[in-house]
Amino acid sequence: EWKAIPTAHGSTDIPAIAQPANTVIKDLFIVTDSIITTAGTNGDGVDMSIGTAEGGAQIMALCEILDDGGGAVSLQANTPLYIVENCHGQAANWAAPDTATSEATTGKLVAGLLDSGSSAREIHVRIDSIDTNLAASGNVKIGVVFQHID
């Protein structure tokens, strides 16, 4: 389901995603219906965390997926930005040229926590616009591909 990301800086919690038992998160990506753009001042950006509880970061610590180092950065519309791909995090600036500046997710993912274990659980994603308001915003969806393991 689409979730609006307001231009005003602050946190937005995405509705919980059900992860079946005995699965790993193979892929996790964000897609937007319109371009999301940071304000263009050093220190602005968009962070994401992934947890097993609302607002948590048990799976991935806060990571700047749009890292505004003094110039506006955009997340392109209708183009998936993979946070986890093939059970691995991403290197810094992995989405260039579409999304040119981002912090690496590799060191932010907590080892072993892509795996649900023998019980189903919920995944909670939080999007934070940091420091100042966004220059442009829209609606986002989080897509997840699970792989069953025995």
Whose structure tokens read 């995405």?
A: 14
Supply the DSSP symbol for 149: -
pLDDT reported for residue 100: 58
pLDDT reported for residue 93: 80
Q: What is the pLDDT of residues 29-72, one digit of tens each?
A: 999 999 998 888 777 789 999 999 999 999 999 998 888 777 88
Q: What is the pLDDT of residues 71-122, one digit of tens each?
A: 888 888 998 999 999 999 888 887 655 665 678 888 888 878 999 999 999 9
What does the H/E/C string look like for 63-117? EEEEECCCCCCEECCCCCEEEEECCECCCCCCCCCCCCCCCCCCCCECCCCCECC
pLDDT reported for residue 14: 96
pTM of the model: 0.91
Q: What is the pLDDT of residues 72-86, one digit of tens each?
A: 888 889 989 999 999
Q: Residue range 139-147: average pLDDT? A: 96
Partners of 25 in the β-ladder: 146
* Tokens of residue 47, six digits: 């962070």
Whose structure tokens read 């790993």?
A: 24
Q: Closest Cα partner for 123 from 32, 59, 30?
A: 59
Q: Give the amino acid at 18.
A: A
* More confident: 59 or 130: 59
Partners of 144 in the β-ladder: 28
pLDDT reported for residue 96: 58
